[in-house]
Structure 1
Amino acid sequence: MAERENQLDALRKHAAGVLPEFKGTVVHDYWKSYYHYKCSHALCNARHLRDLTYIHEQMGQPWAEEAIETLLSIKEGVEAAKAAGSATLAPETLLGFERRWDEIFAKGYVANPDPPPPKKKKRGPPAKGKARSLVERFDHRRREVLAFMHDFDIPFDNNLAERDLRMNKVKQKISGCFRDTGHSEDFCRIRSYICTARKNTTGAFEALSGLFQGHPAMSAAPE
Structure 2
Amino acid sequence: MSALEDLSRDELIVLARAQAERIAEQDARIAELTDRLARLEHLLSRNSSNSSLSPSRDDDAGRTPPRPRSGGGSKRSRGKQPGAPGVNLTWREVPDERRDRFPEGSCGCGADLTAGRDLGVVDRYQQHEIPLVAVRVTQYDQHAVACRCGIVHTATRPEGSRSGPVGYGPNLQAWCVYLMVVHFVPVQRCRQLVESLTGTAPSVGFVHGMLTRAAVLLDEADKRIRALLTAACVVCADETPLRVGPAAAPAGRKKAVRYLLVACTRWVTHYLVGGRDLDTFKAMVIADMAAGSVIVHDRYQNYDAGPFAHLLHQLCCAHLLRDLAGAGEVYPGEHWPAQIADALRGLIHQANLARDAGATTIGQTVTDDLVRLFRQGVLVGLKATDAHGSRPGERKARLLLETLHDRQADVLRFTTDLRIPATSNQAERDLRPAKIQQNISGRLTSEDRTRDRYKILGYVSTAAKHGLNQMTVLRDVFLGRLWIPDPTPATG
**TM-score (normalizing by structure 1):** 0.84
| Larger helix proportion of the pair | 1
1:207 — aligned with what?
473
CA distance in 1 between partners of 2:276 and 2:427 (Å): 21
Letter in 2 for 1:39: L
Relative to 1, partners in 2 of residues 1:152 and 1:141: Cα closer, same or farther, differing over 3 Å?
same
> Which structure 2 segments of 5+ residues have no match?
1-243, 246-256, 259-274
**1:132 alignment partner, SS class:** helix
The alpha carbon displacement at 1:204 in A equals 2.0
Letter in 2 for 1:73: G
> Which structure 1 segments of 5+ residues have no match?
117-127
Counterpart contact for 1:88–1:151, Cα < 8 Å: yes
Residues 1-223 of structure 1 correspond to what in structure 2 (within 5 A)? 1-2=244-245, 4=258, 5-13=275-283, 15=284, 18-23=285-290, 24-36=293-305, 37=308, 38-60=310-332, 61-113=334-386, 129-212=395-478, 213-221=480-488, 222-223=491-492
CA distance in 1 between partners of 2:322 and 2:477 (Å): 40
Q: Identical aligned pairs, as a percentage?
A: 28
RMSD: 2.3
CA distance in 1 between partners of 2:483 and 2:458 (Å): 13
The alpha carbon displacement at 1:7 in A equals 2.5
Deviations, residues 102-151 of structure 1 (Å, cap 9, x unaligned): 211111111111569xxxxxxxxxxx811110111011111111122111
CA distance in 2 between partners of 1:101 and 1:143 (Å): 12
CA distance in 2 between partners of 1:171 and 1:191 (Å): 12
Deviations, residues 183-209 of structure 1 (Å, cap 9, x unaligned): 111111111112222333433234334
Counterpart contact for 1:207–1:217, Cα < 8 Å: no
Relative to 1, partners in 2 of residues 1:102 and 1:66: Cα closer, same or farther, differing over 3 Å?
same
CA distance in 1 between partners of 2:400 and 2:417 (Å): 23
Structure of greater Rg: 2
Deviations, residues 32-85 of structure 1 (Å, cap 9, x unaligned): 111231222111111111110111123223201111111111111112222322
Counterpart contact for 2:314–2:422, Cα < 8 Å: no
The alpha carbon displacement at 1:210 in A equals 4.4
Letter in 1 for 2:320: H
The alpha carbon displacement at 1:93 in A equals 2.2
**TM-score (normalizing by structure 2):** 0.40
CA distance in 2 between partners of 1:108 and 1:211 (Å): 56
Give the total of aligned pairs.
210
CA distance in 2 between partners of 1:195 and 1:94 (Å): 35
Relative to 1, partners in 2 of residues 1:51 and 1:77: Cα closer, same or farther, differing over 3 Å?
same
Relative to 1, partners in 2 of residues 1:7 and 1:114: Cα closer, same or farther, differing over 3 Å?
farther
